[in-house]
Structures are given as C-alpha cells and as structure tokens.
Amino acid sequence: MFDINEILRGEIIFAMENQEIDFGIDIDTGEVVARNDENNESAERERGEISEPPVWTSGDGFRLMESFARTVGDPEVMTALMAALSRGRGVFRAFKDTLARYTEIERRWFAYKDTVMGRRVDDWYDSLREASGLARLGPEPEETSELLAGEFEFRRAGGEAWPECRELFSRSLDEALGKFPEALVEYEYAVTDREISAMNANDLSVFMVEAAAGAMVAVAVARKIFIADRSFGKLIFLYVMPEQRDLGLGQTLSEHAREALAAEGVSRFIVDIPFLPEGFGLSLASFGYVAFGTRWLRTSD
C-alpha cells in the first residue's frame, strides 16, 4: 500500500479533473497511470492492482465553483462569478476568465479547490486502507484551518442568538425528514428545540459561521451540564449548508465549541446529535474523539 503525500495528492487531483484520459492509481506504488495509452499497456500488465481515482464529475466541479463564489465578500466579484456560472455553454471557461481579473480571489480559489478535492482524495485513500485491513488516517485537524479562517467568520454568542439560526434549524429538519421516518425526526427535533428554547440564554453557547458575504452557513449549539460538582459539555445541534460540507466545516465548528468550553474548565465534551452521517464520526476520530454507545434503527415490513 502506497503512502500519500502532497505531490501524489496533486497528481491524483489532476487525474480526477481530467475528463478525457482514463487514469488509474497503482495501489502498491501510488503511480498515476494513463490506462488508455497504448504505450502503457505492456507496462500496466506488470503493475500491481490498479484503482480508479476518486470520482469527480463536471457536476461536482460546478457545485465547487458555486460554493466558492458564495464565500466571496466583495459584492462586485461575487456578482461577476455568479454571472459566469449562469451561462449555458462554456461556464467553466467563463468562471476561470472572470477569476483571472482578480488575482487575490483567484489565489483563494485555487487554495479552496485544492482543499476540497484534497479531502475527497483523503477519504478515498482511507477507504483503500480499510479495504487492505489498515486503519484510517483521517484528515489532519489543522488541514483546513487557515483556509476557513480566510473565507469564513466564526462567531460565538449566547442563547439570545438562537432566533438567527432558526432558518438553518428548519433546513436541517427538512433534510432529516427526507431520509428518516417522519415520527422519529419530528420527535427528536422537538426534543432538541425544547432543550434549546427552555434554557437560560447565558447557559447556552451558539457558534455561528458566516461566509464573507454575510450569509450564515453553519451553526452549532453547545451547553454545559452540571451533576453535583462535576460537569461536561454537550453539543446538541449542528448543521452545515450542503455546499460547504466538503471543507470539514462541521468538524472544525465542533472543535471550536469544545475548545471554548474547555477554556472555561469543562474537560469532557460529547457530541450527541441524531441524524449526523456516519462519516462525520469517523472524521472526529482525527480530533481525538472516541465513540461511546450506539443508536440503531430497523423498520419492520
């Protein structure tokens, strides 16, 4: 099994983006090979197992451009980028040509793209490791911190800020209703809403993330729980807008909440939120979290 590094990660990203050449990755060496090159046919027979690169479609590329455009704080630049994305044919070229007029924004775009696609590569690499009987490595905790700090504003407030977050709460509810039984979803969200609404505003911590343009893209709610002279922190709600999830914003926001409570003397912090995807828990492991307890669902015929 090969080891991943920045150079190889970049080569794999290139293979993902290239829609004209069929690339593969040698599992033993990590070599990226063009499989539809006749000159490579004999050499390929001598290689080890070849894996497909991570899936990356033109739709993925468009959504990536759109999500980046929404983070741009300069109204003129954001409008120009969104206009480029509104074109029919030639939308990718129009987006690149527009970026070329704004050097600093273009630099941020390349960093943004490499981070998002790099996370896709790392998830793919971890899947290969698991298939080979090896442990997942997970993302580096500091991997996206510089990028996130440049593109987003993190803000902490008390419970008085919860009304600002109602729209994201509703979006989260709608998503869950599309995936899980209605009665279960409505019960769990009602419990969460009561827990948040019934608490004193000073006993809640609401962590919000805003894009440079000012739109709220993520929210987390945490509280302290005291049992006699002991305490722990609990993350009771978390939601990230779909177009921002590939950046690991949810994990980063969870860590912001944990670190804030730890600075106030709360050493234990649990994430106890229904309906989070399984992959979220796997990524938390890279931050030092360990799983406890399970939650299962079975629907009878």
- For 211, phi then psi, to 5°, come to -70, 165
Rounded to whole angstroms, how far apart are CA atoms 9 and 17?
A: 12
Rounded to whole angstroms, how far apart are CA atoms 195 and 186?
A: 14
Q: What is the pLDDT of residue 187?
A: 96
Q: What is the pLDDT of residue 71?
A: 81
Q: What is the pLDDT of residue 277?
A: 79
- Domain boundary residue, one of 137, 162, 189: 137
Domains of the chain: total? 2
Nearest residue to 119 via CA among 138, 133, 103, 102: 138
Which SS3 state, helix, strand or coil, does residue 227 take?
strand
Nearest residue to 254 via CA among 277, 272, 242, 231: 272
Q: Flag whether 67 is in a domain.
A: yes
Q: Flag whether 301 is in a domain.
A: no
230-240/269-271 β-pairing: parallel
Q: Are both 43 and 75 inside the same structural domain? A: yes
- Domain boundary residue, one of 117, 137, 157: 137
Rounded to whole angstroms, how far apart are CA atoms 273 and 169?
A: 13
* Residue whose tokens read 């993350």: 235
- Which residues share a beta bridge with 218? 209, 240
Q: What is the pLDDT of residue 138?
A: 64
Residue 236 · residue 222 · CB < 8 Å: yes
Q: Flag whether 297 is in a domain.
A: no
Q: Are both 62 and 169 inside the same structural domain? A: no
Q: Flag whether 29 is in a domain.
A: yes
**Neighbour count for residue 89 (Cβ, 10 Å):** 7
Q: Flag whether 256 is in a domain.
A: yes
Rounded to whole angstroms, how far apart are CA atoms 169 and 173?
A: 6
Rounded to whole angstroms, how far apart are CA atoms 249 and 144?
A: 9
**CA gyration radius for the chain?**
22
Q: Are both 80 and 203 inside the same structural domain? A: no
Q: Flag whether 278 is in a domain.
A: yes
Q: Are both 58 and 103 inside the same structural domain? A: yes
Q: Are both 18 and 78 inside the same structural domain? A: yes
Q: What is the pLDDT of residue 293?
A: 79
Rounded to whole angstroms, how far apart are CA atoms 90 and 103?
A: 21
Q: Flag whether 163 is in a domain.
A: yes
Q: Are both 47 and 158 inside the same structural domain? A: no
Q: Are both 206 and 275 inside the same structural domain? A: yes
Q: Does the model's pTM come out above 0.85?
A: no
Average pLDDT by stretches of 10, the chain with 301 residues: 90 91 90 74 63 91 89 87 90 94 92 88 88 74 55 87 94 94 95 90 88 82 91 94 82 90 93 83 77 82 71
Q: Are both 46 and 117 inside the same structural domain? A: yes
Q: What is the pLDDT of residue 47?
A: 60
Which SS3 state, helix, strand or coil, does residue 230 take?
strand
Q: Are both 210 and 274 inside the same structural domain? A: yes
Cβ neighbors of 198 (< 8 A, separation 6 or more) are none
Q: Flag whether 294 is in a domain.
A: no
- Domain boundary residue, one of 83, 112, 137: 137
CATH number for the domain that contains residue 162: 3.40.630.30
Domain span including residue 131: 1-137
